[in-house]
């Protein structure tokens, strides 16, 4: 019975040891992989033991593989096997620990070698740069770092940028000009355009916004990314030697100014593209185009005709195979310059090149009235979240007729109000009062834009004439005084010399027309005519106003002070047509006039102007009927 129990126990022990051996073989297979484990067993003469059913042979095969010793013999008896298996487990653990350490060391070594390799490559690069003359020094690196830090700084955009028009409807008082500009640009066949008008009325903004509108149209040739390139004609300069030309482009020769270094080293010139190429497919806007150099204007006209810019250099050799393709293409075919030119100017059309005018349509922007200025500043105040008092608006309209200046004055007054009130209000809008605007005006030493204003009370010897300067119309206050001459028949006519020779001619015409048409002889009178403010009159359009002023001074008949007069007076008392009628009408509106007298020869299109009554006259007598309706009766009674 005891023997049977021993046999059963022996069988159980053997089965347990077989399972342990099998588990260890499985663990080795997971470490080495099944195929590598078989190869290793074959090399160590353990393959037959692995496949044997005898536990002792399996243990021997396990030992051979673990200890890598093919001479190990099978153990005798089951009693030695547990100890052998424990030794095998210890050896496996030791090898795995050693393998992990070795792997970690190998990774560190590999990483360190890669770092050393990278450092070596960097050193080689530095040596190459030093050999080629590295332009960087410690000082230049400091300046670079400073420049990078400066670029990281930023402040809010200026008020003028923030308040400039964002839509065409934001441009005030230029409906007719904008419609004309749209008809020239937002079509399948856009035209070159010259914009005339006083400064600060929205010419640049209108051109930019019209392009934005044209981009949206399916029939427009302008793509959605069509460029709008701006330049200033007053700053565009060029060198007769063609060394530099930012507008059209130029060639950088390798000797005189140097092309790119790799090109200069082989003696190849490099063309530099100009603004006309940058604007290809879009609009090139040149502000103050009338200030451009005449020769540069002619060169621009050639580009407009060819739609390309051509380059030339005595250093270019078409047979040189070292010339890059882009350089070869620019010299042989030129650079594209297919754009629409929009020029803006404050000069009169007569001062612009006739050749340029013949290639461009012309659009005229009107001067702004006080009502327009008020509308502009109110809209700008809403964007600034400011509340302007009516008195503050009136002060601004008195001191400027330019939209840009009006917005700038509003921004200055806003800042004054902000500091006066100690900061922004928690809710609502910042209140800007008339005193804030006056403080800003005082700091800027501004003068009123309109010094002469209409009055409902007639006066003797005073008439409002009209003048034009840079598309800005203005009133001329003309006064005359008449005295009896000290000696009969030896009267004199005087005027302020600063007014110019045209006023003197108008005086002589006035005296002759008064004598011929009304029988008023000035030989018995001493007459003094003054243009208030010392304004210089360079045209005959003040003749009618001077004649009426002298008539009033001599007869004592008062004339209306709410009517402005323009027109040339002839020796026969006829009123001749003059120029600048639109600008003069706007000047009269700015001064608050109810009516303007215009020569009948200027009647075409003038009736379209709104906001002021226009009277058309062809003779001195017709003008007097408007200025002093009872003049005939007064002269008869006299």
Instruction: Please report, to the nearest 10 degrees, the dihedral formed by the alpha carbons of residues 300, 306, 309, 312 taken in order.
Output: -110
At residue 426, the 3 state secondary structure works out as coil
Residue 337 and residue 307 in contact, taking contact as beta carbons nearer than 8 Å: yes
The token pair that represents 54 in the structure block: 């005898």
**How many residues appear in the chain?**
638
Residue 253 and residue 307 in contact, taking contact as beta carbons nearer than 8 Å: no
- For the stretch 215-224, contacts whose Cβ atoms lie closer than 8 Å and that sit 24 or more positions apart, written own/partner, are 217/186, 219/187, 219/188, 220/186, 220/187, 220/188, 220/190, 221/188, 221/189, 221/190, 222/190, 222/281, 222/282, 222/283, 223/281
Nearest to 309 by CA among 292, 295, 330: 330
Give the CA angle between residues 366, 234, 294 to the nearest 5°.
100
Residues 251, 311: Cα–Cα separation, whole Å: 7
**φ, ψ (nearest 5 deg) of residue 466:** -140, 140
Burial level of 309, CB count in 10 A (0-12/13-18/19+)? buried
The token pair that represents 467 in the structure block: 């003048």
At residue 415, the 3 state secondary structure works out as helix
Q: Which residues contact 43 (CB under 8 A, 6 or more apart)?
A: none
At residue 362, the 3 state secondary structure works out as strand
Residues 525, 493: Cα–Cα separation, whole Å: 8
Residues 529, 513: Cα–Cα separation, whole Å: 16
Residues 503, 545: Cα–Cα separation, whole Å: 11
Residue 344 and residue 204 in contact, taking contact as beta carbons nearer than 8 Å: yes
Residues 623, 617: Cα–Cα separation, whole Å: 6
Residues 575, 569: Cα–Cα separation, whole Å: 5
Which residue numbers are catalytic?
541, 584
Residues 477, 67: Cα–Cα separation, whole Å: 122
**φ, ψ (nearest 5 deg) of residue 616:** -105, 130
Please name the residue that has the structure tokens 């003040």.
Answer: 542
Residues 292, 222: Cα–Cα separation, whole Å: 27
Q: Which residues contact 488 (CB under 8 A, 6 or more apart)?
A: 524
Residues 192, 560: Cα–Cα separation, whole Å: 45
Nearest to 441 by CA among 417, 472, 410, 418: 410
At residue 428, the 3 state secondary structure works out as coil
């Amino acid at each position: 019975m005891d023997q049977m129990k021993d046999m059963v126990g022996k069988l159980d022990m053997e089965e347990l040891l077989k399972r342990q051996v099998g588990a260890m073989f499985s663990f080795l297979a997971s470490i080495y992989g099944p195929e590598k484990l078989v190869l290793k067993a074959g090399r160590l003469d353990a393959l037959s033991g692995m496949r044997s059913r005898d536990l002792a042979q399996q243990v021997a095969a396990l030992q051979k593989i673990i200890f890598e010793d093919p001479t190990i013999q099978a153990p005798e008896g089951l009693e030695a096997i547990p100890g052998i298996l424990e030794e095998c487990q210890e050896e496996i653990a030791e090898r795995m620990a050693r393998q992990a350490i070795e792997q970690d060391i190998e990774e560190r070594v590999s990483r360190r070698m890669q770092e050393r390799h990278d450092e070596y490559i960097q050193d080689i690069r530095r040596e190459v740069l030093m050999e080629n003359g590295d332009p960087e020094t410690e000082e230049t690196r400091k300046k670079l770092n400073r420049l990078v830090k400066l670029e990281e700084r930023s402040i809010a955009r200026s008020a003028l940028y923030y308040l400039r028009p964002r839509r065409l409807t934001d441009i005030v008082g230029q409906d007719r000009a904008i419609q004309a500009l749209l008809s020239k640009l937002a079509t399948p066949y856009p035209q070159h355009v010259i914009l005339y008008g006083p400064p600060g009325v929205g010419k640049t903004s209108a051109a930019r916004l019209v392009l934005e509108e044209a981009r949206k149209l399916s029939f427009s040739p302008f793509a959605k990314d069509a460029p709008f390139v701006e330049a200033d004609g007053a700053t565009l300069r060029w060198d007769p030697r063609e060394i530099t030309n930012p507008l059209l482009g130029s060639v950088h020769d390798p000797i005189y100014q140097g092309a790119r270094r790799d090109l200069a080293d082989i003696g190849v010139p490099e063309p530099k593209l100009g603004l006309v190429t940058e604007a290809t497919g879009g609009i090139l806007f040149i502000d103050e185009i009338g200030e451009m150099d005449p020769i540069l204007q002619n060169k621009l006209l050639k580009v407009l005709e060819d739609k390309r810019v051509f380059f030339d250099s005595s250093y270019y050799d078409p047979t040189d195979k070292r010339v890059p393709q882009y350089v070869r293409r620019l010299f042989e075919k030129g650079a594209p310059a297919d754009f629409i030119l929009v020029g803006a100017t404050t000069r009169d059309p007569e001062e612009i090149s006739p050749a340029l005018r013949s290639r461009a349509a012309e659009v005229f922007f009107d001067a702004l009235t006080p009502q327009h200025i008020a509308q502009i500043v109110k809209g700008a105040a809403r964007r600034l979240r400011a509340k302007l008092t009516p008195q503050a608006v009136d002060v601004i309209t008195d001191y400027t007729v330019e939209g840009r200046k009006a917005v700038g004055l509003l921004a200055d007054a806003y800042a004054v109000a902000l500091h006066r009130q100690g900061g922004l209000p928690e809710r609502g809008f910042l209140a800007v009062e008339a005193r804030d605007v006056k403080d800003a005006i005082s700091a800027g030493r501004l003068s009123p834009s309109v010094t002469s204003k209409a009055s409902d009370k007639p006066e003797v010897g005073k008439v409002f004439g009209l003048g034009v300067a840079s598309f800005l119309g203005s009133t001329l206050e003309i006064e005359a005084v008449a005295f009896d001459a000290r000696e009969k028949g030896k009267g004199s006519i005087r005027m302020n010399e600063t007014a110019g020779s045209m006023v003197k001619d108008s005086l002589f015409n006035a005296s002759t027309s008064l004598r011929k048409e009304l029988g008023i002889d000035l030989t018995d009178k001493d007459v003094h005519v003054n243009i208030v403010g010392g304004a210089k009159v360079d045209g005959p359009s003040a003749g009618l106003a001077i004649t009426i002023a002298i008539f009033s001074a001599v007869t004592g008949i008062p004339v209306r002070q709410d009517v402005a007069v323009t027109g040339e007076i002839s020796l026969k008392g006829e009123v001749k047509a003059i120029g600048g009628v639109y600008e003069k009408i706007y000047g009269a509106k700015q001064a608050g006039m109810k009516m303007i007298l215009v020569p009948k020869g200027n009647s075409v299109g003038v009736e379209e102007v709104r906001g002021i009554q226009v009277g058309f006259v062809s003779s001195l007598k017709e003008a007097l009927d408007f200025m002093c309706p009872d003049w005939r009766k007064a002269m008869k009674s006299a």
